[in-house]
């Protein structure tokens, strides 16, 4: 596959002039089946700051963050499964929220306004169900707290500093890619097939897209979806990722570690993936790089490069590819999923070997 393949052309397409200005991915809301267990996981085991608490919600943030909260745990309705219920993005101004509303309405998508104060500390926000079923939410105003970045004496468990990105399990990666391109996201890296065998078309099986100048705000991973593959918090250094693992295992919680610690070839991240009591996946993420130059070009990885997903060659467990969080739909029911149109593992050497 050359640089003029369809996938390469797509990856290198300049982003649209954004219809409104998204600053970054900024929060996630998880519907959980046992709120107390979820709070224990994030606040006690991982050591996040509890910003606010209501009867059926807990609001948390990382140690560096001034934004009132970046993780919402919400007790799911009786009988309902755990889902990812809101994927939050901050926009630059209130005017951008208005433009967002016009844009999505113009696209024929369902939107809803949430009034300021619906969540503690937050201004009004705009909810949108994207064409694939992801429950997006855009906001500008949010209360600012004091950073506790340097209160190293209080950091416990895993020194989660700040919300970094959302990774979406996508049955049709290239379609999703075009959607985010349309919102002004650029691509930093992508994985594509080599187009061998019966199927000789190069296909994207993963893509990393950004607004803030890091490797990504949103990643797309080929797989049954729409689902949320994981959300990630930034850790200052690999030593912090390892310390989190040591503390989890030292306290007899090895079972929450799903994959890692290790390094991704893609993004250069030194990572570990954890599963919370409902199976939601959180990545502790360090070591990405600067992508803010205007002519920054995407890097391509072949799915057959063994270093692509696992720089040190460690095989990912099947669960990492197969499992992820259902989404909460417009009707308060889990969004129906479909299988991916390309299977990354079927092609690459980790499995072939």
> Measured from the CB of residue 78, what is the shortest distance to a second copy in angstroms?
31
Q: Which two three-digit tokens encode residue 321?
A: 């590819």
Reduce the DSSP state of residue 286 to 3 states and report it: strand
Min dist. Cβ of residue 275 to a second copy (A):
11
Residue 1 contacts by C-beta under 8 Å, 6 or more apart in sequence? 7, 8, 192, 193, 194, 195, 202
Find, among 241, 47, 62, the residue nearest to 147 by Cα: 62
Comparing CB distances to a second copy, the nearer of 129 and 320 is: 320
> What is the CB neighbour count within 10 angstroms for residue 306?
18
Question: Tokens 């570690």 correspond to what residue?
Answer: 257
Task: State the Cα–Cα distance between residues 239 and 271, nearest whole angstrom.
Answer: 11
Instruction: Give the nearest distance from C-beta 345 to a second copy in angstroms.
Output: 16
Q: Side-chain half-sphere of 257: how many Cα atoms within 13 Å? A: 21
Q: Closest distance between a second copy and the C-beta of residue 191, in Å?
A: 15
Rank residues 223 and 262 by Cβ distance to a second copy and give the closer one: 262
Distance of CA 194 to the CA centre of its chain: 26
Q: How far is the CB of 82 from a second copy (least distance, A)?
A: 22
Decide whether 24 or 169 has the Cβ nearer to a second copy.
24
Smallest distance from the beta carbon of 320 to a second copy, in angstroms? 12
Q: Which is nearer to a second copy, 96 or 344 (CB)?
A: 96
Q: Which is nearer to a second copy, 179 or 270 (CB)?
A: 270
The 10 Å Cβ neighbour count of residue 296 is 15
Binding region for a second copy (CB under 8 A)? 23-24, 64, 66-67, 90, 92-93, 140, 144, 147, 149-155, 157, 161-162, 212-213, 234, 236-239, 242-243, 245-252, 254-255, 257, 259-263, 265, 268, 270, 272, 286-287, 289-290, 292-297, 299, 306-307, 311-315, 317
State which residue, 53 or 149, has the beta carbon closest to a second copy.
Answer: 149
Tokens of 202: 């190069």
Closer residue to a second copy (CB): 17 or 55? 17
- The enclosing H or E element of 24 equals strand 22-32
Distance CA 227, CA 323 (A): 9
Nearest-approach distance from CB 257 to a second copy, in angstroms: 5
Closest distance of CB 109 from a second copy, Å = 25
- In angstroms, what is the minimal distance from the CB of 31 to a second copy? 27
Q: Give the pair of three-digit tokens for residue 143.
A: 């209360």
Q: Nearest CA to 126 among 88, 183, 73?
A: 88
Q: Which is nearer to a second copy, 255 or 322 (CB)?
A: 255
Residue 204 or residue 266: which is nearer to a second copy going by CB? 266
User: CA-to-CA distance for 66 and 80, rounded, in angstroms?
Assistant: 33
Give the tokens for residue 94.
């209130």
* Interatomic CA distance for residues 216 and 89, integer angstroms: 13
- Torsion over CA of 55, 255, 87 and 150, rounded to 10 degrees? 80
């Amino acid at each position: 596959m050359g640089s003029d393949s369809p996938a390469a052309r797509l990856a290198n397409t300049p982003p649209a002039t954004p219809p409104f200005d998204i600053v970054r991915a900024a929060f996630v809301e998880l519907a959980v089946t046992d709120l107390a267990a979820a709070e224990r996981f994030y606040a006690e085991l991982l050591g996040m700051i509890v910003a606010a608490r209501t009867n059926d919600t807990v609001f948390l943030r990382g140690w560096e963050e001034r934004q009132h909260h970046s993780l919402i745990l919400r007790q799911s309705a009786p009988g309902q499964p755990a889902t990812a219920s809101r994927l939050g993005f901050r926009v630059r101004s209130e005017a951008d929220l208005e433009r967002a509303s016009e844009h999505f309405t113009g696209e024929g998508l369902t939107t809803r306004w949430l009034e300021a104060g619906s969540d503690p500390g937050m201004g009004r926000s705009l909810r949108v169900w994207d064409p694939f079923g992801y429950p997006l939410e855009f906001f500008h105003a949010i209360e600012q707290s004091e950073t506790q970045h340097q209160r190293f004496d209080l950091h416990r468990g895993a020194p989660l500093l700040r919300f970094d990105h959302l990774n979406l399990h996508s049955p049709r990666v290239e379609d999703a890619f075009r959607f985010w391109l349309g919102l002004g996201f650029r691509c930093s890296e992508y994985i594509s097939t080599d187009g061998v065998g019966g199927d000789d078309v190069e296909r994207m099986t993963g893509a990393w897209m950004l607004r803030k100048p890091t490797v990504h705000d949103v990643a797309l991973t080929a797989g049954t979806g729409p689902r949320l593959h994981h959300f990630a918090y930034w850790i200052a250094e690999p030593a912090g990722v390892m310390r989190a693992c040591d503390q989890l295992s030292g306290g007899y919680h090895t079972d929450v570690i799903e994959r890692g610690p290790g390094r991704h070839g893609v993004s250069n991240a030194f990572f570990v993936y954890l599963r919370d009591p409902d199976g939601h996946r959180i990545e502790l993420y360090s070591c990405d790089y600067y992508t803010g130059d205007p002519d920054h070009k995407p890097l391509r990885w072949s799915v057959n490069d063994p270093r692509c997903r696992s720089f040190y060659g460690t095989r990912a467990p099947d669960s990492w590819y197969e499992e992820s969080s259902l989404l909460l739909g417009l009707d308060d029911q889990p969004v129906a999923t479909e299988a991916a149109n390309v299977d990354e593992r079927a092609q690459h050497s980790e499995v072939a070997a």
